[in-house]
Amino acid sequence: DSGVTQTPKHLITATGQRVTLRCSPRSGDLSVYWYQQSLDQGLQFLIQYYNGEERAKGNILERFSAQQFPDLHSELNLSSLELGDSALYFCASSVGVHSYNEQFFGPGTRLTVL
């Protein structure tokens, strides 16, 4: 158990819908990272927040948005869902801002868009 929690574990929804994925970082960690893992694209970095501020942005679609709240938990919002958004979404956390070698991954949320 990494100490990073993600909810829900599984989510099944229809095209065009909007969903929110939630992540609680490890105690003391200030950075939260979001990743998408699909069969065809592999693991992709989406976005990083550090202490409430956006710090790095990857291949995140405009239909997706994220935020980190004062209590440091983070939410990833996915809207106008398409079949291709079906994937495993990971959240990770770390203490520092450039700490890819120290990040701990959560168990993931599996999103299925029908």
Partner 1 sequence: EDKVVQSPLSLVVHEGDTVTLNCSYEVTNFRSLLWYKQEKKAPTFLFMLTSSGIEKKSGRLSSILDKKELFSILNITATQTGDSAVYLCAVEARNSGNTPLVFGKGTRLSVIA
Which residues in this chain contact partner 1 in the complex, by CB under 8 A? 2, 42-45, 48, 56-59, 90, 92, 100-103, 105-108
CB of 14 to partner 1, least distance (A): 27
Q: Which is closer to partner 1, CB of 18 or CB of 57?
A: 57
Q: Which is closer to partner 1, CB of 14 or CB of 43?
A: 43
Closest to 97 in 3D by CA, of 34, 43, 51: 51
d(CA 7, CA 106): 10
Q: Which is closer to partner 1, CB of 13 or CB of 37?
A: 37
Q: How far is CA 19 from the centre of its chain?
A: 12
Distances in whole angstroms, Cα of residue 5 to Cα of each of 13, 59, 62, 73, 87: 21, 23, 25, 10, 18
CB of 108 to partner 1, least distance (A): 6
